[in-house]
Amino acid sequence: MKGKLTNVVGSSGVQSFLASLLSIFCGLLVGLIIMFIFNPANAFAGFVDMITGGFSSMTYLGQVLYTATPLILLGLSVGFSFQTGVFNIGVGGQFTVGGLTAVLVGGLIDLPSSIHWLVAMLAAALVGMLWAVIPGVMKAYFKVNEIITCIMMNYVGMYLTNQLVKDLHYDRTLVASKYIKKSALMPKLGFDKIFEGSSVNSGLYIAIIVAIIIYIILYKTSFGYGLRSCGFNLDASKYAGINEKKNVMYVMLIAGLIAGLAGGILYLSALTKNLKIQETFLNETNYAIPIALLGTSHPIGVVFSGLFIAYITVGGTLMQGKGFPVETVNMITAVIIYFAAFSLVFKQALGKMSLALAHKAGMDNNANAEVKSSKGGEK
């Protein structure tokens, strides 16, 4: 029995999963403590709201799925790049320019509703991809650290978006972009019937399809083999003749495309979703890295971590009903997400623990099993 337990805990995939669960648990615990500090009387009730809120009605469940859509895509963008040894920290910029493109194409151009949203969405993805060209070229051909260029491109993207919204498609009273045309809205595909009152739309399908495509690329194709090889050991990959420069370019382009797509989908999901003039990065893009880390950069893991973060975010807004001001709510969700990024630490701890367990199990069985397996391995 103990031997079995050791085997299960010893497998790396299970360790990643357990580590993610553990970090979520710790985050929730610390969140609860903070709630007790601010509002001891309502802390528990508020906490229950946050934990159960997402499932409390079909509308909220729909909101969870809606919130999760761009989060999953952004997590995929970052996680994909992480797996290949590139650090795409530029989702902030790529996402924003993608959103801008979607709003402009959706608001200024007249097209039939069957293709308007599609054109706007694809344009957003394309511009997101172009936004990643500069960090990609700089990293691949001039050895400039992509983290720095990405951060710079994020600021350029944010201010450029503010400026272009003001110049081209501005509503003074809203201090934001004007609404897009109805024809540019993402199709609902019946989601509006199941989840009445929420904005969930076909973008969710797209996010999941992208996750599957990324999974196939990374683990089933020779292209992905080369990418992951570069991610694990750049020197050996170069030695083996893999063109790492081309790979860096491809990775940045794909990651930028996905981030731009995320921005496009978000700003095409509802008429009221307009681009606000602001000087900070959107929460969505700030959450991208923790989502990738919590999902261990694995595309399927990222889908679930994106859903979780969305769930907590939606649940958090419900806490306001229990007298928690929106700032506290944001702080608590931030703490939980912050802990999500610790999953790597927990994974290491689990690895050590399983080793210790294995030793004990070995002692108990008088090492008989071990001898057999080691002999079997030697043959």
Partner 1 sequence: MDYVIEMQHITKIFPGIIANDDITLQLKKGEIHALLGENGAGKSTLMSVLFGLYEPDGGKILVRGQETVIANPNDANRLGIGMVHQHFKLVDVFTTLENIVLGVETTHLGVLKMDEARKKVMKLSEQYGLAIDPDAKICDISVGMQQRVEILKMLYRDNDILIFDEPTAVLTPQEIEELMQIMKGLAAEGKSILFISHKLNEIKEVADRCSVLRKGKYIGTVDVADTTIEEMSEMMVGRKVMLQVEKGEMTPGDVVLDVQHLSVQVGEGHKKKVNDVSFQVRKGEITCIAGIDNNGQTELVLALAGIMPSTGTIKLNGEDISHQSIRYRNTHGVSHIPEDRHKHGLVLDFTLEQNLVLQSFFEPEYSNHGFLKFDKIREHAEKLIEQYDIRSGNGPTNIARAMSGGNQQKAILAREIDRKHDLLIAVQPTRGLDVGAIEFIHKQLVKERDSGKAVLLVSLELDEVMDVSDRILVLCEGEIVANVYPKDVTVQELGLYMSGSKREANV
CB 153 within 8 A of CB 135: yes
d(C-alpha 358, C-alpha 354), whole Å = 6
For the record, the structure tokens of 266 come out as: 């978000």
**Contact range with partner 1 by CB under 8 A, out of 274-282, 320-328, 338-346, 356-364:** 356-364
Can residue 327 be called a binding residue for partner 1 (CB under 8 A)?
no
Q: Which is nearer to partner 1, 115 or 356 (CB)?
A: 356
Site residues (CB under 8 A) for partner 1, limited to 210-229: 220-223, 225-226, 228-229
236 binds partner 1 (CB under 8 A): yes
If the CB atoms of residues 261 and 361 are measured against partner 1, the closer one turns out to be: 361
Number of residues that bind partner 1 (CB under 8 A): 33
- Let me know: does 303 contact 258? Beta carbons within 8 Å: no
In the list 137, 239, 309, 311, the residue contacting partner 1 (rule: CB under 8 A) is: 239
Give the angle 321-327-330 at the CA atoms, nearest 5°. 85
Query: Does 238 interact with partner 1 (rule: CB under 8 A)?
Result: yes
Report whether 275 contacts 103 (CB < 8 A): yes
Cα end-to-end span (Å), the chain: 26
* Residue 1 binds to partner 1 (criterion: CB under 8 A): no
- CA-nearest of 88, 117, 156, 78 to 266 is 117
Structure tokens at 236: 């050996």
Establish if 363 lies at the interface with partner 1 (CB under 8 A). yes
Residue with the two structure tokens 């020197």? 235
Q: Which two tokens stand for residue 327?
A: 């700032």
Q: Write down the residue that tokens 């570069």 correspond to.
A: 230
The answer to whether 370 contacts partner 1 (rule: CB under 8 A) is yes
Of these, 110, 143, 193, 235, which contacts partner 1 (CB under 8 A)?
A: 235
Residue 362 binds to partner 1 (criterion: CB under 8 A): yes
Closest CA to 120 of 133, 136, 109, 131: 109
The least distance separating partner 1 from the CB of residue 12, rounded to whole angstroms, comes to: 9
Site membership for partner 1, residue 190 (CB under 8 A): no
We find the least distance from the C-beta atom of residue 79 to partner 1, in angstroms, to be 16
- The Cα angle at residue 158 between residues 154 and 160, in degrees rounded to 5: 115
β-partners of residue 177 are 170
Q: Stretches 85-93, 170-178, 268-276, 361-369: which one binds partner 1 (CB under 8 A)? A: 361-369
Contact code string over 6-45 relative to partner 1, x by CB under 8 A: x---x-----------------------------------
Under the binding rule (CB under 8 A), the answer on residue 246 touching partner 1 is: no
Query: CB of 226: closest distance to partner 1 in angstroms?
Result: 7
367 Rama class: left (phi>0) / alpha (psi -120 to 50) / beta = left
How many whole angstroms separate alpha carbon 250 and alpha carbon 244? Answer: 10
Greatest Cα-to-Cα distance within the chain, rounded to the nearest angstrom: 78
Site for partner 1 in 48-67 (CB under 8 A): none
Cα distance between residue 122 and residue 127, in whole Å = 9
Interface with partner 1, residue 377, by CB under 8 A: yes
Q: Considering only residues 148, 175, 212, 371, which one is a binding residue for partner 1 as defined by CB under 8 A? A: 371
* Interface with partner 1, residue 374, by CB under 8 A: yes
Q: How far is the CB of 143 from partner 1 (least distance, A)?
A: 15
Tokens standing for 33? 């403590």
Q: Tokens for 54?
A: 């997402």
Positions in the binding site for partner 1 (CB under 8 A): 6, 10, 220-223, 225-226, 228-229, 232-233, 235-243, 355, 358-359, 362-363, 367, 370-371, 373-374, 377-378
